[in-house]
Structure 1
Amino acid sequence: MVYKSLVRPTLFRMHGGDAERVHETTLGILSKVAPLAGVVKRRPRLERTVFGVRFPNPVGLAAGLDKNGRALPAWGALGFGFVEVGTVTRHAQPGNPRPRLFRLRDSEAIVNRMGFNNDGALELANRLDRLGPLGVPLGISIGKSKVTPVEEAVEDYQASLRALYRHGDYFAVNISSPNTPGLRSLQDRGALTELLAGLNGTARDLAGSRPRKPILVKIAPDLTDEAIAEVLEVCAAHEVSGLIATNTTLSRDGLAPADQALAAEAGGLSGRPLAVRAREVVRFVSRETDGKLPIVGVGGIASADDAKAMLDAGASLLQLYTGFIYEGPGLVGRINRSLQR
């Protein structure tokens, strides 16, 4: 495979191996080739409608890869059936100090402690205004600004929702990143109840006479089954449209010996070592909700077999991030062709 034998080694050596600088360079390249997106051959179509949104295929780009929507037209051209931008916050913020992104190559994993670095909700809205329709559904992941106290989180999320509501086909409420202090406490029953009630009210006001746009909740893989069940109860009470399972993990299980030194870096782990736990969470959520709550399965998907296993566990849609970094753009097509067969 050309990507793994030639392109990936070249990328991984760029900028002295600085993963974040390589990421930024790649996004810059993709943003420049985006006008040529229409000439790229389309992948097999596997249309499905989930939480009222029609997806041309179930393989999406996870939040975090194109936080600020710099290369949006390119993702559909690469075969993705939907794109999730963000996580974006009300206030623009630089994120945590660098270095904050680390490749664990032998494990095909990444550790990041980015800290929601982004240009802010209003700047993303302006970029989307200039861009126009994408041709594939757009999800927008919203999170809490670091400068905002946890007790003021509801207003912070509402401001982002108001700024971006006209652009998103669905909205993901990120309460599970390990890299913003206090954020994961929003998964607790009381805090989540208040947050979802506030967001639902804002969404209804913005929708007017139209149906409210779907709101999804993104959870951590580190929650116990009891904690996940509690989250599901709150989601049901507030008519959440779906769940994204899962975010990155604080666990360091399943890593190759050569990666143990980098594993000591603080941050969330993504990639192959997360695959089993992500599927366990998806399977648990599907069972607890009798398969009635749509699930976006994400975590450790690096092959067509991984994708099928996630769908078999109960996911309706899939998202890629780390697998895309290690396997390249061809992974999207391989998954979709496999699903078509």
Structure 2
Amino acid sequence: MSRQQLVHKVKTIISMTLGGGVVFTALNIYKGSEKFYDDVLIPLTHSILGPEKAHEAVVFINKYRLLPRSHYKDPEILNSKFLNLQVPNPVGIAAGFDKHGESVLGLTDIGFGFVEIGSITPKPQEGNPKPRVFRLPEDSAVINRYGFNSDGHDKVLERIEKLRNSDKFDGILGINLGKNKESDNPIDDYIQGIQKFGKYASYFVINVSSPNTPGLRTLQNEENLKVLLPAVISARNQLDVENKPPILLKLAPDLSQEERKSVASILKKRDCRIDGLIISNTTIARNDLKSIHYKNETGGLSGRPLKEKSTQMIKEMYQLTNGQIPIIGAGGIFTGHDAYEKIRAGASLIQIYTSFIYHGPPRITRIKEELQQLLEFDGFENISQVVGIDAKK
């Protein structure tokens, strides 16, 4: 065989191998193969890209809807009503993933029952210096200190107006609002967000619980909540829209029992009665982590280490509010059983983020399938029948 023939043969083999690899990859993505994502695609992506670059890549993929639609059809048993919203399934994507409202359609395609974007601040801001995101794979966890990096109200509003005015999306869109780092009037920051997005939000989230903006968590204090909550409720009530969006408050898992009781007491006051809670945000605790690298980085910890803490807080807040304030549960949900525990503790819906980072779109389907199986095994006809069962014991 001549040298020229040998080169040609090698090129042919390489071309066929690459082509076969592309076909194999495309087929497994189309099928939504959990094994392929877990064993090949996610590990490869994480080995090539750092956490923030990987995050940006996944946002890009969903922005341009490059993934196939989920083949899973949401069963009636997972349909429920949350506040004034009819939700096709209880699994949502938590705020922090699509910070700028770029990927709503793509995230809906892959099976999320609702999408929450943000946190969005009035003025654009860069957030904290990089690096600011760290993977802790041994703990199935992530530490982030993004610090509300945001495109700002105006740019995000342009995207959401275009989305809502198209005939492509009529789903549930939560708008998570934050404050600018240098703001001298945090309450006005939230009011501006309600006024800007009131026409387009399915619900609002007042985020006062991120650990990555100095002073933000002090807004959870009793005296601050007594001022903040009536102000945002009043702003919502003044919106010139037919269906005024519900307002939810997102709380930190690091609140003491006394602080939780204080919050619950405030929420019972007529002028502070918001519509729901999200429990919980990330934690600043670092208990029993296995990871050697990055565990001491400052920022909020999410993932498996947060699971029990957030579930217990859901149960406590459900009890403290007598089950009268609906809850969205978040923190360490990797399986249908994890989601089921949170729903039984008092959550009406749940949100994931870290498990999506480590397992990709197939994890959405897995959680829904396992939830369906658990509900049917326990003899329930609808997921709404389970909410708070364990908290009532």
Please indicate, yes or no, whether the TM-score normalized by the shorter chain is above 0.5. yes
Aligned residue for 1:30? 62
Aligned residue for 1:137? 172
Corresponding letter in the other structure for 1:131: L
Counterpart CA distance in 1 for 2:240 and 2:116 is 21
Q: In 2, are the aligned partners of 1:44 and 1:340 still within 8 Å (CA)?
A: no
The CA deviation at 1:65 is 0.5
Aligned residue for 1:69? 101
TM-score (ref. length: structure 1): 0.94
Counterpart CA distance in 2 for 1:324 and 1:19 is 13
Aligned residue for 1:147? 182
Q: Deviation string for 1:179-219 (max 9, x for gaps)?
A: 000000000111111111111111111146x4532000000
Corresponding letter in the other structure for 2:71: K
Q: Does 1:103 align with 2:138?
A: no
1:118-137 to 2 correspondences below 5 Å: 118-132=150-164, 134-137=169-172
Counterpart CA distance in 2 for 1:8 and 1:71 is 19
Q: Deviation string for 1:116-174 (max 9, x for gaps)?
A: 0010112111111112252320001001111102xx11111111111111111000000
Corresponding letter in the other structure for 1:53: L
TM-score (ref. length: structure 2): 0.82
Corresponding letter in the other structure for 1:313: A
1:83-232 to 2 correspondences below 5 Å: 83-132=115-164, 134-149=169-184, 152-207=185-240, 210-232=242-264
Give unpaired runs (5+ residues) of structure 2: 1-34, 374-393
DSSP 3-state at the match of 2:268: helix
DSSP 3-state at the match of 1:261: coil
Aligned residue for 2:282? 248
Q: In 1, are the aligned partners of 2:157 and 2:196 still within 8 Å (CA)?
A: yes
**Which of 332, 350, 358 lines up with 1:300 in the alignment?**
332
Q: How many percent identity over aligned positions?
A: 38
The CA deviation at 1:241 is 0.6
Counterpart CA distance in 2 for 1:285 and 1:94 is 34
Aligned residue for 2:388? none
DSSP 3-state at the match of 2:231: helix
Q: Which portions of structure 1, spanning 4 or more consecutive aligned residues, are displaced by more than 3 angstroms?
A: none
The CA deviation at 1:265 is 0.6
Q: Does 1:2 align with 2:32?
A: no
Counterpart CA distance in 1 for 2:321 and 2:363 is 30
Q: In 2, are the aligned partners of 1:248 and 1:269 still within 8 Å (CA)?
A: yes
Counterpart CA distance in 1 for 2:150 and 2:279 is 22
Counterpart CA distance in 1 for 2:169 and 2:306 is 31
Aligned residue for 2:73? 43
The CA deviation at 1:339 is 2.2
The CA deviation at 1:319 is 0.2
Give unpaired runs (5+ residues) of structure 1: none
Corresponding letter in the other structure for 1:254: D
Counterpart CA distance in 1 for 2:84 and 2:58 is 33
Counterpart CA distance in 2 for 1:43 and 1:246 is 28
Counterpart CA distance in 2 for 1:280 and 1:254 is 18
DSSP 3-state at the match of 1:262: coil
Counterpart CA distance in 2 for 1:59 and 1:272 is 17
Over the residues paired in the alignment, what is the CA RMSD in angstroms?
1.4
Aligned length, in residue pairs = 332
Corresponding letter in the other structure for 1:135: D
Counterpart CA distance in 2 for 1:315 and 1:59 is 11
Q: In 2, are the aligned partners of 1:189 and 1:231 still within 8 Å (CA)?
A: yes
Counterpart CA distance in 2 for 1:166 and 1:128 is 10
Counterpart CA distance in 2 for 1:226 and 1:195 is 20
Q: In 1, are the aligned partners of 2:335 and 2:370 still within 8 Å (CA)?
A: no
Corresponding letter in the other structure for 1:246: S
Q: Does 1:53 align with 2:114?
A: no
Counterpart CA distance in 2 for 1:334 and 1:27 is 21
Q: In 2, are the aligned partners of 1:43 and 1:336 still within 8 Å (CA)?
A: no
The CA deviation at 1:340 is 2.2
The CA deviation at 1:285 is 0.7
